[in-house]
Structure formats: C-alpha cells, structure tokens
Amino acid sequence: MATKKTATSACKMTAKTAAKTTTLPTRHEELICWVKDFAKLTQAKNVVWCDGTKKEYNEMCDALLKAGVFTKLNPKKRPGCFLARSHWSDVARVEDRTYIACKKQEDAGPTCNWIDPTELKKTMTGLYQGCMKGRTLYVIPFSMGPIGSPIAKIGVELTDSPYVVVNMHIMTRVGTKVLKELGTNGEFVKCLHSIGSPLKAGQKDSTWPCAPLEKKYIAHFPETSEIWSFGSGYGGNALLGKKCLALRIASNLARREGWLAEHMLILKLTSPAKKVYYICAAFPSACGKTNLAMMEPRVPGWTVETIGDDISWMKIGADGRLYAINPEAGFFGVAPGTSMDSNPNAIRTITKNTIFTNCGLTDDGDIWWEGMGVPAPDHVIDWKGVSRKPTVDAKGKKVFLDEKGEKVNIAHPNARFTAPAAQCPVIADEWEDPAGVPIDAFLFGGRRPTVIPLVNQAKDWTHAVFMGSAAGSETTAANLSAIGVVRRDPMAMLPFFGYNAADYLLHWLTMPLRTNPEKLPKVFFTNWFRKDEKGFMWNGFGDNSRVLKWVCERIDGKGKYQDTAIGFLPTADAIDMTGYVDSSRTPAEVKAAMATLTSVDKEGWKKEIATVADSYAQFGNKMPHVLKAKLAEITAALKK
C-alpha cells in the first residue's frame, strides 16, 4: 500500500531492545527505527507517542493556552473552543512551495511543481538537521477513514507542533488504537513535519514559530509514499493527513490499486418516499462544496445528511458499485462567509469543541468574521492581534479601517475552523460505516457567470470524464487576472494532483473496465452561478435541492430531459419550482431565467470548447485520445 520496507541496519534499536529501555506503544520495528532516526536527525529534546485520548487532547490544549498560542473562548458561548493566531506569513497553502518529487518530470506533468527527489531529500535533510532542538517530537499514528475499513489507510506524522497534534486529533482517528490496527509489520505512509524553528537554551518561544517562505517545503514522494513538510505550521501544509495524504499521495495509491481518491463531498439525500441516494460532488474553491454537503433543502419532504464535506475515497464493492468513505473525522472549513444564511448546519456544528484560527475576537470572548451574518462588534481584536473599532460609512454600515483609512479584514480571508464531524447536526448515521456508502451520482461544477447551464447530464462515461476535465471557474474582479478568463480545474483537483493530470484522467477512463459500466454513478455538471443584468439567475443554497431532485429522477430513469449537443439538459419545466421565490424577479422573469438556464448557448459553447482544447494542449500526447475525440464530437454537434 504505502511505504516500502526499508533496511533497518542503520537503526540498531529493534522493537525488542526498545521495549527494554522504554515502554513503547508498538512493536512495529520499522516504525520504531524510523522515529528514532528522525529524532536523532532533528535533535529533539524528547519524544512523545500520542495515544489519542481525550485526556491527551485536553492537556495539549491547556499547554497551548499557557504558551499563549491559544485563547480560550467564552465557555458559555462556545464551550471547549479556542482561538489561535498564526504568523502573518503563514496563513494558507503555499502552492509554489508544494512539490511532487518523482524520478521523471513527465510523471508529474505540467500542472505539478516537480523537483528531483534525490536533490530535494538532500536539501530537506539539511533543513531537518537540528531543527527540533529544544522541542518535543510528537509521534501521531492516524487512520484516514474508520479504523479497520478496507478503504482506509494508516499514516504516522512526526511533528514538533502541538497545534498540529490537537488539530489532527479532530481531523483524523489518532492514537494507540491505530497502532494496534497497524500491528508489527503493517504498511503506513511516512509523514515528516517540522515548523523549522529550533530553540536555544533559555530562548523565549514565539506564539507561532515558522520558517521564512524561502525555506518552506511541502514535498510529496509518490514512488515511496512519503510526505516531508518543513517551515509551516498552518492547515494543509502541516496537517499532513489532509490534502497531502488524502489527495496527492492517495491519488497515486488509488491509481496503483484501482480505486479513486477525490476532492469531493459526500451527501445522503432522502426523498419523501424514503428512498436514499448518495451523491459525491467536486467543485473548485469558492463554489459552495461545504454548503451543499450540509444543505437545508427547500423542496418539501426531502432531507440532506452529511457524510463528508471535502474528500471521498471510493472502491468497487462486491456488487460492482463504487463505495465511498469520508477519510476525515472533522471539518477544516473556511470561516469568512459562513453564516446562518449560507450554511446554518456549519454554524451549529462550531458552537463547541472547535479550534478557530485567524478569526476576530470580541470583547465577550466570542469570535467574529466577515460574512458571519451578525452585526460587526463595536470593538474587536483582529487576526493579527490589533485592537479595532469600526467607523460608519456613507451607507450607514460599520467598516474597519487602518490608520491610512483603508479597509482591513478582521478575520483573514482564509481563517479556519476545525470541528469534529460527529457533532454536525445533520451527520448521517452511516458516515463511519467501514464499508462505505454506494454512490449513485457524481456532480462536477464551477463558478461560471455565462454559458454553462444550471445542470447537464453526461451521455456516457467518456462524456462524464470529459465534463470533469473541463471543470473550472471564471475569474472575477477579486482575482488578480483578467475578468472572465476560465481557470481550468479538472475534477477540482488542480492543486492536489499527485501525478500527471492526463494520466489521472486516463485512470478515470479505465473504471468501466473494472466493473459493469451500468453500475457506475450517473454524472452531471452543475452551475449555481449564472448571471444576467439582474444578478444571479439562480438562488442557490437550499434551492439547489431542486436540481438534486431532478438528478435523482434521472438516476431512476425518469425526469424530463432534452437531448442536446452538450448533454442531457432538463426541459424548462422539469425542475420542481414549487415555492421558489426570487425577490429580484417577477414570476414571469423567473420563468424566463429558467428557460435560459436549461438551454444551450451555441455560440458561447463553441468558444467554451475551443478553450477546453487549449487546456488539453499542454499535455501533448499524454492527453487520452478519447477525450480529444469527445471534444471533436461535441464541436461537430454544435455546428448542426
């Protein structure tokens, strides 16, 4: 599965002799030697094996509180919650410092940041030398997925960050029970992490130690299933079970082993007749993935329950269907914009036992961020620790300004919450079923103000993969690029490919060879973001359940549709609009908008197809021929 067995001659301490000198929670000789060798390299002052207990979590939080890393929030408002503030330079994934280090550059492809693995390991070994002086090395055994699940994988992260430990407690299944499952010779993914900030004797520690940007590395070695991270303590750079293992390394494992590791939510949809459908959806950033996973449907009688909001691992079951698990145990969500309007169930989830990072702190010990749906406080400490008071603008709205009179964010735009999935009020009973749930449909999507219809069904599996390969979002005024340019994000995996994206698409194309094609999920492309002169043409949020209802009807072979050049679109009256209200449009205007949303803009699509062809060009002959043929087929159909 993961790491290859390595010679242990460099490590003289065997599991047997280690047990004589100290009590260790495992007899896994390779693991013990690996930990010992890294502790020696980094010169850590001591080594702690994490047991995953609530007692350990509480003690770590208390230590972070005493160190000034955590601020305890008001226990009456948010029991068990803490706020952390990172260094201003360590606030998000650093894609330009994220590497795929495989032997051949062509195996990484043009969308990955490639570097020679031998060269990189030499550089990073030098950085790791003595990097944990004065610090504790924590050993975090973790399971991605329910422990013992045939779809789950085990990793072990070595880190000097207590912040990482407590977040991994929430995001994964951690501790001694994982080591028991690993046994004495089980395979595991090796994950090395350091904040890269050794302490001299008597030196006062920073509340957020990290290395400068030029020394930050997030490295993936797909051929040996290893992850090496240095210099950052934030999010996906440091919580190595998340994007690093769950997508970049797992996508490689999935290709070798014949399964799928995807950047997809998993939701359970139940009809009024109590029929259950399981749906996975892949959307690029800022396209409402978490909102959909926790949606409150506006179609009477339908319910949505959450299985996962970010990642899906899927294997073919004995019955030939794809079964999915959520490999994570928590939610690592973007805070700004999350409100009772956009995602009420997320707001309910984070009322307790949650770690907030880079949010504002109010005088009554609560958190605040932009787009929270509550009035701005009269005084707040921003994410940098600066005291702020709002002013009232010409429209009577409270705004926060710096000393130059320029608007400032109280919460960083990438401020996060880390919360246990189990406390989500709409978590599905089967969210931890080790067998997974059978997937009925895949949704792809993007933020597209023009051309792309509300929903479009693929005609066959090749068409489905083509749809996913063409996914992306148009840039807006908020992006530092030309407005209206499409940034292609195939399968919403662009930042997370662990190997050549063309080979990844080829892997998807092989799925009908692995099972009965009729048992694969039906595939749809959605777009909640189409605009006209009045603004958004579709309400989104809870009204997206209307689209999901039609998706379910199509799964059942029902649901009215029209066969078009680009796929099967709903007829103008196929979407259930009962009770639908758009305050900016009259009923007649809503009807006209729906007619547009369910039709094909032929001229627009001709341009769309041309830009998809351009996006394929970078892969040369690596791009599967059948996708090029499908592109040519659609191009010809649009000319009729």
DSSP 421: G
Beta bridge partners of 279: 267, 441
Helix (H, G, I), strand (E, B) or coil at 261: strand
C-beta atoms surrounding 224 within 10 Å: 17
Structure tokens given for 388: 């702020």
Is 321 exposed, middle or buried, given 0-12, 13-18 or 19+ CB atoms closer than 10 A? buried
Q: Say if residues 349 and 425 touch (Cβ distance below 8 Å).
A: yes
Q: Rounded to an integer, what distance in angstroms lies between the CA atom of residue 240 and that of residue 164?
A: 9
Q: Rounded to an integer, what distance in angstroms lies between the CA atom of residue 337 and that of residue 540?
A: 15
Q: How far is CA 227 from the centre of its chain?
A: 17
Q: Rounded to an integer, what distance in angstroms lies between the CA atom of residue 259 and that of residue 397?
A: 51
Closest Cα to residue 166, out of 59, 48, 244? 59
Confirm whether 287 is a catalytic residue.
Answer: yes
Secondary structure E strands in 537-608: 561-564, 567-570
Residue with the two structure tokens 């990097």? 131
C-beta atoms surrounding 104 within 10 Å: 10
Helix (H, G, I), strand (E, B) or coil at 203: coil
Q: Say if residues 248 and 493 touch (Cβ distance below 8 Å).
A: no
Q: Rounded to an integer, what distance in angstroms lies between the CA atom of residue 289 and that of residue 282?
A: 7
The CA-based angle 160-234-371, given to 5 degrees, is 150
Structure tokens given for 246: 């769950």
Closest Cα to residue 334, out of 356, 306, 307? 356
Beta bridge partners of 308: 266
CA 486 → CA 113, 389, 448, 473, distances in Å?
21, 39, 8, 6
C-beta atoms surrounding 57 within 10 Å: 20
Q: Say if residues 499 and 252 touch (Cβ distance below 8 Å).
A: yes
Beta bridge partners of 356: 83, 417
**Cα Rg, the chain, nearest whole Å:** 25
Of the listed 131, 210, 287, 424, which one is catalytic? 287
Question: Side chain identity at 561, as an amino acid letter?
Answer: Y
Residue with the two structure tokens 């949650």? 354
Q: Rounded to an integer, what distance in angstroms lies between the CA atom of residue 192 and that of residue 178?
A: 18
* Strand 355-357 with 367-368, pairing: unpaired
Phi, psi of 266 (to 5 degrees): -130, 125
Helix (H, G, I), strand (E, B) or coil at 617: helix
The CA-based angle 249-96-281, given to 5 degrees, is 50
Q: Rounded to an integer, what distance in angstroms lies between the CA atom of residue 417 and that of residue 437?
A: 27
| Residues with a known catalytic role | 287
